[in-house]
Structure 1
Amino acid sequence: MEQASPRRRPTAGGYARGDEVRRRIIEAALRVFGENGYERASTRQIATEAGVNPPALQYYFDGKDGLHQACGQYIADHISQRLEAAYAVAAAVKPDDAAAAVDALCNIIDTLADLLLGSAQGEGWSRFIAQSQTGVSSQPAAQRQTEESSPGNSAFRQSMNAKIQSECTRLVSIATGRAADDVRTKLQTIAIIGQFAAFHLRRDSSLALLGWPDFYGERLQMLKEILRSQTHAILKHRLASDEAV
């Protein structure tokens, strides 16, 4: 195993032992936090899976909470990077082009599905996010244990959701012709994002219900087509409250 050097602060935002060791610890921690939750996660198990000695976690992350926050930021950074192309498409939508807004919205959901449902890496991220956002695992109820969230959770939730929420709200606003701050716009945005979240945050329960081993390949494509169809259906017709105005 890697031996931790005497603790000293990294300089200029770098890490004296190198980014590779830090990445290994984060990826091991994502698995352990995702499977066990914050409270039950063992730092010794994380260190063992990462191939380092337990003091290395304190050296790199100032302990368990710092490591948990670093895991959240690691996911948020990767998702933000993957969504850049989808955000660029969304930014190009004209304020009066409802059809393009719906397509751009579906493109964001498709990208999230590819990243968080369509890969082995995404499985671990989904479980970690489920633990962080809801305090429980994404496993079926019979296997699930309620956990306390990490103290740093709220900052992670905000950084993870704010951009996605704002982009989707703007597109729903264009698609419906309503203001972005209209409560009906917000409700529809939550409903659209919630369709994906039902499979993402409750991944194992959803797979068990479907009798599927995973969301890969044709199964993912089928799910994406349904999510896209449902999104179009939500935005296709004016709400009765709109028609009454």
Structure 2
Amino acid sequence: MAKIETDQNTPTSRRDQTREKLLAASLDVFGRYGFDGASTRQLADAAGVNLQAIPYYFSGKEGLYLATADYLTEMISGHVGDMRQRVGARMAALDATGERMTPDEARAYLTEIAQTMIALFVSEKSESWARFIIREQMEPTEAFTRVYQGIMRPMIEIARRLIGTILGEDPASEHVRLRAFSFIGGIMVFRMAHAAVLAQMEWDSAGPNEVATLRKLAVELVAVLQPVKGGAA
């Protein structure tokens, strides 16, 4: 049996690389086969590392699965984290002074979010992310809790607040919550129904020109958000 190097002289970069390989491979393997369907041998082979690396770095398959959820959260945050922090900081500044964001400013922020998310969802990198998340949506585990709390909930709550401002309604209301999910669904379809989108649009792939078209669509998705005449029922 091959030995795992646990010597204190083992370069940190090598340990980090092994861990990174396992996480990247596990995101794809767990997404395709689920927790029960993926074997530790399969996970190790996909990462190109020794089987004993899994218990050494993650204390076993379950630890690797949860670490993969955290890894996924970090990956998505790397693409939207700066934007989320910037919008959040603006909201916090307004709250501190008692001011309110204008509907036009809310539309501008929501448009930026929608354009960023659409471009991300049609990219190849998001394919393995979607598989993992869809499985957790269908049969939630602790991994879903981590992804939801780490990235999904903060983004949904920002969207709710922006949409509430645009509609002139309480962001915590049932109506705004539903409108927020309807809006988000209109963006997520470009990943969840990626094959159907390409087939219907007769696109071979989502390259720069296609992404530019979808970014224009994001502007329209925000523009159609209008206050309900007479108020929400």
TM-score above 0.5: yes
Say whether residues 1:53 and 2:44 are aligned partners: no
Decide whether aligned partners of structure 1 residues 231 and 204 sit closer, same or farther in structure 2, where only a CA change above 3 A counts: same
1:134-158 per-residue CA deviation (whole Å, 9 max, x = no partner) reads 35xxxxxxxxxxxxx5553333333
1:36-90 per-residue CA deviation (whole Å, 9 max, x = no partner) reads 2222122212211211121211111122222121112112122223223322146
Report the counterpart of residue 177 of structure 1 in structure 2. 168
Decide whether aligned partners of structure 1 residues 123 and 5 sit closer, same or farther in structure 2, where only a CA change above 3 A counts: same
Runs of 4+ in structure 1 off by over 4 angstroms are 208-211
Report the counterpart of residue 140 of structure 1 in structure 2. none
Structure 1 residue 168: deviation in Å?
Answer: 0.8
Say whether residues 1:192 and 2:197 are aligned partners: no
* Counterpart-to-counterpart distance in 2, 1:18 and 1:206: 41
2:134 to 123, 130, 135: 130
Gaps of 5+ in 2: 95-99
The aligned runs of 1:1-245 (5 Å cut-off) are 3-5=3-5, 18-87=15-84, 88-89=86-87, 91-92=89-90, 95-118=100-123, 120-135=124-139, 150-233=141-224, 235=225, 237-242=226-231
Gaps of 5+ in 1: 136-148
- Equivalent pairs counted in the alignment come to 222
Contact 2:69 2:143 (C-alpha < 8 Å) held by counterparts = no
Structure 1 residue 204: deviation in Å?
Answer: 3.7
Q: Higher helix fraction: Structure 1 or Structure 2?
A: 2
Contact 2:32 2:131 (C-alpha < 8 Å) held by counterparts = yes
* Counterpart-to-counterpart distance in 1, 2:29 and 2:48: 14
Q: TM-score normalized by structure 1?
A: 0.78
Compute the RMSD of aligned alpha carbons.
Answer: 2.9
* Counterpart-to-counterpart distance in 2, 1:216 and 1:169: 30
Structure 1 residue 209: deviation in Å?
Answer: 4.6
Identity of aligned residues (%): 27
Amino acid paired to 1:239: V
Q: TM-score normalized by structure 2?
A: 0.81
Contact 1:3 1:52 (C-alpha < 8 Å) held by counterparts = no
Report the counterpart of residue 97 of structure 2 in structure 1. none
Decide whether aligned partners of structure 1 residues 49 and 243 sit closer, same or farther in structure 2, where only a CA change above 3 A counts: closer
